[in-house]
Amino acid sequence: MMNPVSSSSAVNIGIIGLGHAGMSLHLPKLCRNTRASILAVADIQDERLTKFSLAYPNLKVKKVRDYQELLEDEKIQAVFVTSPTPTHFEIAMDALRAGKHVFCEKPISSSVEEATQLVQEAESRSQSQVLMIGHVIRYWPDYVAIKRTIDSGTIGEPVIARAYRAIRMPDGWEDFYGKSDQSGGVLFDLSIHDIDFLIWCLGNVSSVYAQGGHLSGRGDRDLIDYAQVHLDFESGAMAYVESNWAVPKSFPFTTAFEISCRGGMVSVSNSQAHSSMELTMDDQEKLIRNPWERDGYFLEEDAFLDSVTSTPHGSPIAPKDALYSLKVANAARESIHYNGKEVFPK
Ligand SMILES: NC(=O)c1ccc[n+]([C@@H]2O[C@H](COP(=O)([O-])OP(=O)(O)OC[C@H]3O[C@@H](n4cnc5c(N)ncnc54)[C@H](O)[C@@H]3O)[C@@H](O)[C@H]2O)c1
């Protein structure tokens, strides 16, 4: 049964999956958010539950191994699904059917078929429940500044974009990241951040072609851990997305994005200490726009809590958008499979 959420009270939350995303990315921010009250956590590994107890000794919450126990708790109104990608479908589906609002980490699933079913389920419940997929770049302050600059029209129509994202494939890759059918490789895990952001800015994709391969020697032999993706948009814009999981362990997480519009160019990169955006226009000195705190996770969680507590509900990131981003990433995978063939995502 659904426990209705009032706009004035904190949302009672359960977290499913206490790995990097659950423990390091979401928990610390949710603990800081006065609109969130964590009631329970679930993880299939005892060791993770113990680690949680040691890290948060003052957080008196229910700790369970089976997430179903958490879903049966009527006090819990919303869940964060931060478990491995291949579990997203089953857990998010069960959570929706148990009447919970659901925040689920990206990608929505490693299977387009599963993602399609999940979107159908979420849409049939959209009057009373929220499903939000964590495409955090839509909340990353410097990327948000890019989107606002484009939407303002001050630098004209966007025409060419370039995105780069590199980090070594996460430790523990033997569990799921290194298995092509479970994580979807670098395309579903890293490239999808930039693909989703580009679609948000530039609209639908008309065709995709990509090259890539398995460079690191870690994981399945058919795992794509490096990819170059070219996207053509229905608007006539084009973009290049390069993603690399095959860098050395000591290589710092590196991201960069630039977009050329008819009247100027905006770019961001995480190489500065603070997040900021550079605006370059003809006959003008380059402008550095505000350094911001980098806290996209807090901001996306806050947007989720907003949608849970407001009526009508409306997911801040429509589930069908997350499905579409997955389809484009999947088209890139198909293109690599056929050695750069042009693929038309539907
Ligand atoms: N948005 C981002 O920036 C970002 C960053 C990292 C990871 N992610 C996403 O978050 C998800 C998790 O990634 P991760 O790096 O935290 O993985 P991880 O392996 O570090 O952690 C996953 C945790 O889930 C637990 N788990 C597995 N099956 C479970 C189940 N059925 N019930 C409860 N717990 C279960 C595991 O025991 C583990 O503790 C992935 O989909 C990944 O793509 C997103």
Kindly state the average pLDDT of the residues 168-185. Answer: 92
Q: Is residue 191 domain-shared with residue 248, that is, in the same domain?
A: yes
Q: How far is the CA of 16 from the centre of ligand 1 (A)?
A: 9
- The pLDDT tens digits of the residues spanning 37-66 come to 999 999 999 999 999 999 999 999 999 999
Helix (H) or strand (E) holding 292: strand 287-292
Among 25, 66, 105, which residue has the most ligand 1 atoms within 8 Å of its CB, making it the best to mutate?
105
305 in any annotated domain: no
pLDDT at 195 over 80: yes
Domain's final residue, options 134, 166, 197: 134
CA-170 nearest atom, ligand 1: 15
Q: How far is the CA of 280 from the centre of ligand 1 (A)?
A: 39
Q: Is residue 196 domain-shared with residue 243, that is, in the same domain?
A: yes
CA-66 nearest atom, ligand 1: 32
Q: Is residue 149 domain-shared with residue 284, that is, in the same domain?
A: yes
Kindly state the average pLDDT of the residues 13-25. Answer: 97
Q: Is residue 127 domain-shared with residue 177, that is, in the same domain?
A: no
Q: Is residue 36 domain-shared with residue 177, that is, in the same domain?
A: no
Residue 125: which residues within 8 A CB-CB, separation 6 or more? Answer: 96, 131
346 in any annotated domain: no
Give the residues surrounding ligand 1 with Cβ less than 6 Å away.
16-22, 25, 42-45, 48, 67, 82-85, 87, 105-106, 134, 136, 170, 172, 175, 189
Per-residue model confidence (pLDDT) at position 312: 85
Q: Give the confidence band of 6 by pLDDT, cuts at 50, 70, 90.
A: low
Q: Is residue 71 domain-shared with residue 155, that is, in the same domain?
A: no
Per-residue model confidence (pLDDT) at position 229: 98
Cis amide prior to 86 (ω within 30 degrees): no
Domain's final residue, options 87, 114, 134: 134
pLDDT at 171 over 80: yes
Per-residue model confidence (pLDDT) at position 5: 67
Burial state string for 311-346 with b = 16 or more CB within 10 A and e = fewer than 16: eebebbbbbbbbbbbbbbbbbbbebbeeeeeebebe
CATH classification of the domain holding 24: 3.40.50.720
Q: How far is the CA of 339 from the centre of ligand 1 (A)?
A: 31
CA-42 nearest atom, ligand 1: 33
pTM for the predicted model, two decimal places: 0.96
Q: Is residue 70 domain-shared with residue 168, that is, in the same domain?
A: no
Of 189, 203, 139, the C-alpha closest to 332 is 189
Per-residue model confidence (pLDDT) at position 7: 62
Q: Is residue 252 domain-shared with residue 193, that is, in the same domain?
A: yes
Closest C-alpha to ligand 1, atom 28: 83
**For the chain, what is the domain count?**
2
Q: Is residue 142 domain-shared with residue 128, that is, in the same domain?
A: no
4 in any annotated domain: no
Per-residue model confidence (pLDDT) at position 288: 86
Q: Give the confidence band of 326 by pLDDT, cuts at 50, 70, 90.
A: very high
6 in any annotated domain: no
CATH classification of the domain holding 156: 3.30.360.10
CA distance 173 to 147: 33
241 in any annotated domain: yes
Q: Is residue 217 domain-shared with residue 282, that is, in the same domain?
A: yes
- The pLDDT tens digits of the residues spanning 75-127 come to 999 999 999 999 999 999 999 999 999 999 999 999 999 999 999 999 999 99
CA-175 nearest atom, ligand 1: 19
- The pLDDT tens digits of the residues spanning 270-305 come to 987 778 899 999 888 888 888 777 789 999 999 999
CA-16 nearest atom, ligand 1: 33
Closest C-alpha to ligand 1, atom 6: 21
Helix axes 112-124, 88-97, angle to 10 degrees: 10
Per-residue model confidence (pLDDT) at position 292: 77
Residue percentage of the chain with pLDDT more than 70? 97
| Chain center to CA of 10 | 24
Mean pLDDT of the chain: 95
- Note down the domain range covering 196: 138-298+326-337
Per-residue model confidence (pLDDT) at position 313: 86
pLDDT at 1 over 60: no
CA distance 155 to 266: 9
Per-residue model confidence (pLDDT) at position 273: 72
Per-residue model confidence (pLDDT) at position 187: 98
Q: Could you tell me if 23 and 47 are in contact, meaning their C-beta atoms sit under 8 angstroms apart? A: no
188 in any annotated domain: yes
307 in any annotated domain: no
Q: Is 233 helix (H, G, I), strand (E, B) or coil?
A: strand
Residue percentage of the chain with pLDDT more than 90? 87
Q: How far is the CA of 75 from the centre of ligand 1 (A)?
A: 24
Among 16, 18, 71, 83, which residue has the most ligand 1 atoms within 8 Å of its CB, making it the best to mutate?
83
40 in any annotated domain: yes
Burial state string for 102-127 with b = 16 or more CB within 10 A and e = fewer than 16: bbbbbbbbbbbebbbebbebbeebbe
CA distance 118 to 107: 12
CA-22 nearest atom, ligand 1: 16
Q: Is residue 129 domain-shared with residue 152, that is, in the same domain?
A: no
Q: Is residue 36 domain-shared with residue 110, that is, in the same domain?
A: yes
Q: How far is the CA of 20 from the centre of ligand 1 (A)?
A: 6
Domain's final residue, options 134, 153, 177: 134
Per-residue model confidence (pLDDT) at position 107: 98
Token readout for 105 is 């980490």
- The pLDDT tens digits of the residues spanning 219-234 come to 999 999 999 999 999 9
Per-residue model confidence (pLDDT) at position 276: 86
